[in-house]
Copies of this chain bind each other. A is one copy, B any other.
Amino acid sequence: MSDRVQIFEVVARDGFQNEARFVETADKIALIDALSRTGVAKIEATAFVSPRAVPNMRDAAQVLAGVTRAPGVVYSALAPNLRGAANAVAAAAHEVNVVLSASESHNWSNVRMTCADSLADLTRIVDACSLTGTPVNISIATAFGCPFEGPVAPSRVLDFVKRCAQAGAAGVTLADTIGVANPVQVERLVAAAMQILGPVPLTLHFHDTRGLGLANVYAAWRAGARRFDASLGGIGGCPFAPGATGNICTEDTVHMFAEMGVETGVDLEMVIDLARTLPQLLGHDTFGRLTKVRSRAQAECRTAAAQ
């Protein structure tokens, strides 16, 4: 059981936040409810951020209120600061995912705070959330590289990891916000972070910008990581990171682990079916490979049947 991999679905947050078209609240809720039945361990349902800065997240409270909580699924919400965390708790999020960046310039661009201020806030956020018993996961963005500053020193990232644990984080996520991580770097940083974190669970959050998403998942898994964020259809990206593109794709990630003989508990056919509903919802094509393989196979069958 300890070797089972957990998939955390982020399409409703990281996926939708970067969409130009507003995704209707009812559509968000319907998708989250459908995802609840696929076997994903956690769903990042929304973000409590500035509605002006991220218009697609302006219905955060309604989304959380409208979702049918399925047993065994953790409904998480992202928050950049204490106010966002308080709103997430008020909306009965099971978990608050606080984000700060390892690099100063991305932290400023993303949450308008210095890293020192964000770090100082962590304890206050954890304490506030503990009043309702809400666990806080802390996501460290730009942990593998920054769109403004380039490489980020591993020692700095690991220092952030230590401070997150000290602040009382229930979990820590290392995020490759702009898809610049490479597998060797991932194996090293994951091993070092897990050593610091001990029993505090580590999650990896990769983007597939340069095609290394699943290579990085494999590298992290090899180093011992068992928790991965992924987005249905591989959509997503940070609106405040130039060049950011889609997350690793849920269905492709689930498929890789299935082929590797690693249990995720996620029903591959269900996530493929859901991924295939995205283009109509979003008005554009998505990035998953499995959906394309299936579509091609079905087209070949139709051609064969017509002959």
Contacts and interface: CB of A to CB of B under 8 A. Distances in A.
Contacts of A252: 210-211
Contacts of A242: 300
A215 B183 CA distance: 9
Contacts of A217: 215
Contacts of A209: 289, 293
A161 interface: no
A182 interface: yes
A212 B243 contact: no
Interface in A247-267: 249, 252, 255-256, 259-262
A184 interface: yes
A48 interface: no
Interface in A173-229: 180, 182-185, 208-215, 217-219, 222
Given A215-B218, A219-B218, A242-B300, A293 B210 contact: yes
A289 B184 contact: no
A261 B259 CA distance: 29
Contacts of A222: 222
A156 interface: no
Interface string A244-288: 000001001001100111100000000000000000000000001
Contacts of A293: 209-210, 243
Nearest to A257: B182
A154 to B, nearest CB: 13
B296 A243 contact: yes
A79 B126 CA distance: 65
Nearest to A211: B289
A290 interface: yes
B210 A297 contact: no
A297 B244 CA distance: 11
Nearest to A297: B243
Contacts of A297: 243
Nearest to A304: B242
Contact of A260 (B184, B208, B289): B184
20 contacts: A182-B256, A182-B259, A182-B260, A183-B218, A183-B256, A209-B293, A210-B255, A210-B289, A210-B290, A211-B249, A211-B252, A211-B289, A211-B290, A212-B259, A214-B214, A214-B215, A215-B256, A242-B300, A243-B297, A243-B300
Given A185-B259, A211-B249, A243-B297, 12 more contacts: A180-B259, A183-B218, A183-B256, A184-B262, A209-B293, A210-B289, A210-B293, A211-B214, A211-B252, A212-B214, A212-B259, A215-B218
Q: Which 8 A-B pairs have the closest CB atoms?
A: A182-B259, A211-B289, A215-B215, A184-B260, A214-B215, A215-B218, A183-B218, A211-B252
Interface of A: 180, 182-185, 208-215, 217-219, 222, 242-243, 249, 252, 255-256, 259-262, 288-290, 293, 296-297, 300
